[in-house]
Amino acid sequence: MIGLGLDTAQKNAAVERYVSEHEVSNVVVFYPMRHRIAFHLDVPTEYVEYEDIIKYVFFYRLLQEIKPTTLLVFNEVMRTTDRSCLHYNCLRNYLSRTEHSLVLQAFPALESPDDFMILVDLDTRSRWRRSQLCDVSEKLRVDERVVLPVIDQICVPTDARLLGQYAKQKRSLIDSIGTKDPHTIPRRLHLLGGKSKAAYVAESGGRWVGRNQRFKLPCLSTYDDATEPSDVFEFCHGFRKWSDFLTTTRPTRMRALVSELRVDQWYIDRANKWLRMQQDAIAAIRDRVGS
């Protein structure tokens, strides 16, 4: 079973229900540190952090200790879009020891609807490993409760001096990019509007999330630290960090500061495109869910 969009209480209920309805002797929970979770179960439960999945000291011991009656819980383990990465391959080996598994994930994809097949691999023991979502002919077992946030745009005035600085730095970054990652350009340019946004936040208050604490704003958290719904001071670049933030804070509506710098509009458009991609993935999944 794949549970999409479940909150902590719903995840606990799903795991407790599975244990009560099946002959489960013990549970092993795999999770990334950002999404540590505790289940309240009457059977022995071990927690294995995502980075430990591939370590020999864990890998060989778990292969010996996982039994046909062991329940494997995969909590927010979609960390890369590479279906053949070492972490996923280790999880496949663990799954070969038991028929019991629960896959819990806030969003169905990271970069494209077909990322959902990473979760399908875990639920079906990789029966569709070489396939895309559109090729799956069997009915999938999915409990889907995803709520996608709405992003409202707040325009922040930008003076001529900053616009000139932006044009100069953009030209410099383009000219010197060479063989570097081209995403360096928007990442760097997006930071330029920070002073204007900091002035807005200082006046308006509220709770905000940004890339770092360079302005030492007491109302601002970083994407790694945010635990409550927050408005967007500036966007992070990586989709995994963005997904982690939304998974942890679970906002239904949020505001985003957008200066007159073109890169700011690029980032909010990119975030909305990511949300539309999730909608496309959810629609495709619903077409393949069994009754």
Return the structure tokens found at 125.
């023991």
Asked whether residue 6 carries a pLDDT value surpassing 90, the answer given is yes
Starting from the edge strand earliest in sequence, which strands make up the sheet with 220-222, in order?
150-155, 253-258, 231-232, 208-210, 220-222
The yes/no answer on whether domain 150-274 falls in CATH 3.40.50.300 is: yes
**N- to C-terminal Cα separation, the chain:** 13
In contact, 123 and 82? CB cutoff 8 Å: no
The architecture that CATH gives domain 2-146 is 3-Layer(aba) Sandwich (3.40)
User: 61: exposed, middle or buried (C-beta count within 10 Å: 0-12, 13-18, 19+)?
Assistant: exposed
CATH 3.40.50.300 domain span(s) along the chain: 150-274
Q: Return the amino acid letter for 198.
A: A
Rounded to the nearest angstrom, the gap between the alpha carbon of residue 18 and the centroid of all alpha carbons in its chain is 25
> pLDDT tens across 30-82, in order?
999 999 999 999 999 999 999 999 999 999 999 999 999 999 999 999 999 99
Rounded to the nearest angstrom, the gap between the alpha carbon of residue 36 and the centroid of all alpha carbons in its chain is 14
Distance CA 30, CA 28 (A): 7
91 CB contacts (<8 Å, ≥6 apart)? 30, 53, 72, 74, 77, 122
Distance CA 19, CA 16 (A): 5
> pLDDT tens across 27-43, in order?
999 999 999 999 999 99
- Look at residues 90, 6, 86, 80 and name the one whose alpha carbon lies nearest to residue 48: 90
In contact, 212 and 220? CB cutoff 8 Å: no
Sign of CA dihedral 220, 221, 226, 227: negative
> pLDDT tens across 229-277, in order?
999 999 999 999 999 999 999 999 999 999 999 999 999 999 999 999 9
The pTM (predicted TM-score) of the whole model is 0.95
Q: Is 93 left (phi over 0), alpha (psi -120 to 50) or beta?
A: alpha
Which of the pair, 291 or 273, is modelled with greater confidence? Answer: 273
CATH 3.40.50.10810 domain span(s) along the chain: 2-146
Average pLDDT, the chain: 96
Q: What pLDDT, on a 0 to 100 scale, did the predictor assign at position 137? A: 86
In contact, 170 and 273? CB cutoff 8 Å: no
